[in-house]
Structure 1
């Protein structure tokens, strides 16, 4: 019997992160999911374990905190012995006009989106480098790393940085059979965006394929990139946006 793989997914209490966790669990991957809201991931772990027959462990806390990163890594090694997949999905969006954007908001976006991803990847790679089969890292970027979007300068900058990080790490991690890729979702219907009653209608009008993404659309792409089916893909960004970045009409127009 082939041993089950082990994955860490951050920002997985709901939305895209949870959908990725469910997709990987359906492929018999044991998972450790992280989110700030402990109740969300505790309930998610119960449902995933029952539905897919894998072990699902919740680790709550700020994914950019050193102690939380260490707990995630140690939880994987203690419970499963290996760490095969890490999806650094945690992120924060703080809108604001560039001319008035606060230092506090900038630092929070940078801390969660960049610092958290960088040091989780570092900690994971230090485990994966000693494994025969290496591992796969996946970062969650955004279409805003490719096209300008009003009031998202700091967020867009942080997401573009992740795509360059993935490219740069190819040089240092490929010798250890560690692959690093990025997904860049566009407009996606999630628990958060659905709170806007006009969201789906607005993005359906300006997306060439006629609708925003569902979370499973993003999860399907993520699961492919961390799978053995993508074993010769590294340093790449996959944009999942229904064609929006090809035309880029503003939702505010």
Structure 2
């Protein structure tokens, strides 16, 4: 199935984890891929080899998503790489654990600049490109169940994802006349490198899994499948929504 034949997708933060899974899934279905991360290393090389083995094109562009000028440059370069840019997946993000009374301004800015500010101006540049070229566009933002539910000791992270929720709702209306759709995907507890500490702590892991009706951590492929749906024409009438990929966690959640 080539739902993305002749399409070009940029996935930020795609060296590993969910971003890498999204890149592979979109490539599998026909897309040429622009990968992104802070640095190009063996992870990026491996992904490029895998994507090219599928008969697709792939390129890695380094950029710090927390830097607005770098984000704007990334979008422009991505659009030139294979001659077009059709899909923007804003996957790059981070979290910093801290009691609220100990959060520093630097920590707050690091989280907000990466998870919200950089995303905001990346979408803006992508929308300008689509308008200028008179092209349809699709944006998929990687949010979190914490756009909806609490996460003690991660206040800045929750604020960033709550802001992303409202940004997506607002832009769905504002960008629809440009034929640009925008949606969020909200993963729950997913087995990724960012959760290595949790995966190694069997006692805490059991607490988390008890909160998930489906009784397991999610896989990166679970998330990538929903991203692929939202990026495709199968979701042609879907915009302004958040799709939870959480095994039922969100509305079953109880803080332990």
Counterpart CA distance in 1 for 2:119 and 2:247 is 26
- What is the match of residue 42 of structure 1? 45
Unaligned runs of 5+ in 2: none
Secondary structure of the 2:128 match is helix
Task: Tell me the TM-score normalised to structure 1 length.
Answer: 0.93
Matched, 1:213 2:218: yes
Native 8 Å contact 2:95 2:111 kept in 1? yes
Distance in 1 (alpha carbons) for counterparts of 2:56 and 2:197: 32
RMSD in angstroms over aligned alpha carbons? Answer: 1.8
Structure 1 unaligned regions, length at least 5 = none
2:243 is the counterpart of 1:238: yes
- 1:226 matched to which residue of 2? 231
- Residue 135 of structure 1: how far off its partner (Å): 0.8
Aligned length in residues: 250
**Pair 1:173 & 2:178 matched:** no
1:85-106 C-alpha deviation (Å, 9 max, x unpaired): 0001111100111122111100
Q: Secondary structure at the match of 1:136?
A: strand
TM-score normalised by the chain length of structure 2: 0.92
Aligned to 1:143: 145
Structure 2 residue 77 is matched with structure 1 residue 75: yes
SS in 2 for 1:213: coil
Shift of 1:170: 1.8
Give the match for residue 189 of structure 1. Answer: 191
Alpha-carbon deviation of 1:205? 2.1
- Residues 134-189 of structure 1 show CA distances to partners (whole Å, capped at 9, x for unaligned) of 11001111111111111011100100101110110122210010001001110000
Bigger mean CA deviation after superposition, 123-132 or 4-13:
123-132
Q: Does residue 13 of structure 2 align to residue 11 of structure 1?
A: yes
Q: CA–CA distance in 1 between the matches of 2:151 and 2:30? A: 38
Q: Runs of 4+ in structure 1 displaced over 4 angstroms?
A: none
Higher mean alpha-carbon deviation, 2-11 vs 207-216, is at 2-11
SS of alignment partner, residue 192 of structure 1: helix
**1:102 alignment partner in structure 2:** 104
Asked whether 1:121 is paired with 2:126, we answer no
Shift of 1:6: 0.5
